């Protein structure tokens, strides 16, 4: 029996406002889509928190034994500055400011995004499609929506008819907004003059002469609307209906609301069964903003090169800090919080390493099976990582008591305790053992140093300086490093 059949997972569904038992569309398989970054600048910490939150979801679903197809897009076209069908394309604007091609901007910041998430030990998604790679599919879905009567063309642009859609559907049900309440609060903008209604949103925008990023379409040379790409890529890789759609809380309206409308208009089906939204990150109790200086980039955490920090922190410590709050709660980032998280992380790792030194006995004073289920209960309760971490620290307390000889544990329970700690710390939470990482780094430096000495010895032998050659070999041997000369060259081993 698969682990997911033994555990009842509940997910808070944003569209119902309730925790619901998770039942995937296809037995044993999960389709999950998460809105990725618009790659026009360095990924900020708030984005990182969202992607770490959904990495936790991805990891736990895999841990339960599900075969997960995780799709996370890269927005490299169509995202305008004010998210409301007007202003300049974010990527094109950056390209103009840096005097480079838009795709150079995309490449530069996509690489930065991947590098940062790798440092946080995020698993890569199963598929990472781009908006520019799916222009043809976006044009096709626009045709479908036009044929169904939920869109209209105006001067080369195509807009989704929200009022028409709302006659038979419920636009606003995800965000809890009523269309009739939106209308009085919407002011007409000059750039929206082609729209029938201010609430309508662009499926395709005709490019102005100065607009760099453009593609041919039946309506004009232009570019797709920002909301469209996610509908297209999620349905292409996960189907017209799929299990989980995630993203930041700020995307609930209008982005995700528009995705639902596009999906229902094109296929007649409700595209997503479970909507999940990660909450925001604040800094020193205030919203992060570059303009006020109340802002921090991930690399600044690692180096400590930020006025808000007294020193640098390992990426895994920052990850641990973020996972100490539930993904749906606001999390305040501060130097003091990071210092406290570092101490907690070190306590957790110290206890984990102690497990190898513990001796087993004839009885167990710690109910490992009950504790293990409490760990699962925490994650089954809408991926409640802070409760899971509290349970891990309950185990830390017990490990320290066992180490002091004040309690006993059987060999079987000790093995179960270690395997469960390992699974939840490294596999589910995705933390990194910094002691092992330091050992690996030291090993790499040692190997590099010995290889340098081998090259210097080879040069000495080529110059017939056999005294120096023998000196390098003999002194390395005294240090426990034996050189072995062979047909393929010289290798070494540690004695």
Q: Quickly state the pLDDT bin for 190 (edges 50, 70, 90).
A: very low
Q: Quickly state the pLDDT bin for 454 (edges 50, 70, 90).
A: confident
The answer to whether 343 and 393 are in contact (CB under 8 A) is no
Q: What is the mean pLDDT of residues 414-440?
A: 89
The whole-angstrom separation of Cα 443 and Cα 439 is: 6
pLDDT for the residue numbered 486: 77
Q: Quickly state the pLDDT bin for 78 (edges 50, 70, 90).
A: confident
pLDDT for the residue numbered 187: 45
The whole-angstrom separation of Cα 5 and Cα 451 is: 52
* Mean pLDDT (the chain, rounded): 92
The answer to whether 468 and 477 are in contact (CB under 8 A) is no
Question: Which pair of structure tokens corresponds to residue 34?
Answer: 């998460």
The whole-angstrom separation of Cα 170 and Cα 162 is: 10
Per-residue pLDDT tens digits for 47-64? 999 999 999 999 999 999
Question: Is residue 488's pLDDT more than 80?
Answer: no
> Which of these, 278, 276, 277, 272, lies nearest to 243 by C-alpha position?
272
In which residue are the tokens 């379409």 written?
Answer: 217
Helix (H, G, I), strand (E, B) or coil at 187: coil
Q: Quickly state the pLDDT bin for 189 (edges 50, 70, 90).
A: very low
The answer to whether 428 and 383 are in contact (CB under 8 A) is no
The answer to whether 244 and 32 are in contact (CB under 8 A) is yes
Per-residue pLDDT tens digits for 16-30? 999 999 999 999 999
In which residue are the tokens 């292409």 written?
Answer: 236
The answer to whether 258 and 308 are in contact (CB under 8 A) is no
The answer to whether 331 and 283 are in contact (CB under 8 A) is no
Q: Quickly state the pLDDT bin for 470 (edges 50, 70, 90).
A: confident
The whole-angstrom separation of Cα 277 and Cα 248 is: 5
Question: Is residue 4's pLDDT more than 80?
Answer: yes
In which residue are the tokens 């995937």 written?
Answer: 24
pTM for this model (two decimals): 0.87
Q: What is the mean pLDDT of residues 366-392?
A: 98
pLDDT-wise least confident of 38-47, 76-85, 215-224 = 76-85
DSSP string for 325-348: S-TTS-EEE-HHHHHHHHHHHHHH
Q: What is the mean pLDDT of residues 310-318?
A: 97
**Helix 226-238 vs helix 135-147: angle between axes, to the nearest 10 degrees?**
100
pLDDT top residue among 406 and 84: 406
pLDDT for the residue numbered 466: 84
pLDDT for the residue numbered 468: 87
Q: What share of the chain in percent tops pLDDT 90?
A: 74
Question: Is residue 348's pLDDT more than 80?
Answer: yes
Q: Which residues of 382-402 are buried (b: 16+ CB within 10 A; e: fewer)?
A: bbbbebbbebbeebbebbeeb
Question: Is residue 222's pLDDT more than 90?
Answer: yes
DSSP string for 78-133: --BTTSSS-S-BHHHHHHHHHTS-HHHHHHHHHHHHHHHHHHTTPPPPSB--BSGG
The DSSP element (H or E) to which 143 belongs, if any, is helix 135-147
Longest dimension (CA), the chain: 92
pLDDT-wise least confident of 47-51, 77-81, 316-320, 418-422 = 77-81
pLDDT top residue among 191 and 209: 209
Q: Which residues contact 38 (CB under 8 A, 6 or more apart)?
A: 75, 76, 79, 90, 91
The answer to whether 249 and 279 are in contact (CB under 8 A) is yes
The answer to whether 106 and 41 are in contact (CB under 8 A) is no
pLDDT for the residue numbered 288: 75
Question: Is residue 137's pLDDT more than 90?
Answer: yes
The whole-angstrom separation of Cα 394 and Cα 409 is: 15
pLDDT for the residue numbered 487: 65
């Amino acid at each position: 029996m698969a682990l997911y059949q033994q555990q009842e997972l509940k997910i808070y569904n944003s569209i119902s406002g309730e925790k619901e038992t998770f039942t995937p569309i296809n037995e044993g398989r999960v389709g999950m889509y998460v809105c990725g970054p618009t790659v026009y600048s360095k990924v900020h910490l708030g984005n990182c928190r969202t992607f770490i939150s959904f990495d936790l979801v991805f990891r736990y679903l895999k841990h339960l034994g599900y075969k997960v197809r995780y799709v996370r897009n890269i927005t490299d076209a169509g995202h305008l500055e004010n998210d409301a069908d007007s202003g300049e394309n974010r990527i094109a604007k950056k390209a103009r400011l840096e005097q480079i091609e838009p795709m150079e901007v995309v490449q530069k910041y996509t690489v930065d995004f991947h590098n940062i998430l790798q440092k946080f030990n995020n698993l890569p998604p199963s598929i990472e499609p781009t908006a520019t790679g799916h222009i043809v599919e976006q044009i096709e879905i626009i045709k479908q929506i036009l044929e169904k009567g939920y869109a209209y063309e105006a001067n080369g642009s195509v807009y989704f008819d929200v009022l028409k859609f709302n006659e038979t559907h419920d636009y606003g049900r995800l965000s809890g907004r009523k269309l009739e309440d939106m209308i009085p609060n919407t002011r007409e903008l000059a750039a929206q003059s082609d729209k029938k209604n201010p609430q309508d949103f662009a499926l395709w925008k005709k490019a102005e002469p100065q607009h760099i990023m453009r593609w041919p379409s039946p309506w004009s040379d232009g570019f797709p609307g920002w909301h469209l790409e996610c509908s297209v890529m999620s349905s292409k890789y996960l189907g017209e209906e799929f299990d989980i759609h995630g993203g930041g809380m700020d995307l609930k309206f209008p982005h995700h609301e528009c995705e639902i409308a596009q999906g229902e208009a094109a296929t007649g089906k409700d595209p997503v069964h479970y909507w999940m939204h990660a909450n925001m990150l604040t800094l020193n109790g205030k919203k992060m903003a570059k303009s006020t200086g109340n802002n921090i980039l991930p690399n600044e955490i690692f180096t400590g090169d930020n006025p808000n920090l007294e020193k640098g922190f390992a990426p895994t410590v920052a990850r641990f800090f973020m996972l100490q709050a539930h993904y749906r709660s606001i999390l305040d980032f501060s130097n003091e919080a990071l210092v406290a998280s570092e101490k907690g992380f070190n306590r957790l790792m110290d206890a984990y390493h102690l497990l190898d030194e513990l001796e087993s006995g004839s009885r167990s004073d710690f109910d490992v099976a009950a504790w293990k289920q409490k760990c699962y209960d925490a994650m089954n309760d809408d991926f409640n990582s802070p409760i899971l971490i509290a349970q891990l620290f309950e185990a830390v307390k017990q490990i320290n008591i066992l180490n002091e000889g004040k309690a006993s544990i059987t060999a079987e329970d000790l093995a179960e305790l270690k395997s469960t700690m390992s699974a939840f710390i490294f596999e589910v939470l995705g933390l990194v053992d910094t002691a092992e990482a330091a050992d690996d780094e030291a090993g790499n430096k040692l190997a590099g140093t010995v290889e340098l000495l081998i090259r210097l010895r080879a040069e000495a032998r080529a110059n017939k300086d056999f005294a120096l050659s023998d000196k390098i070999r003999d002194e390395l041997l005294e240090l426990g490093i034996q050189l072995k000369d062979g047909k393929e060259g010289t290798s070494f081993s540690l004695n």
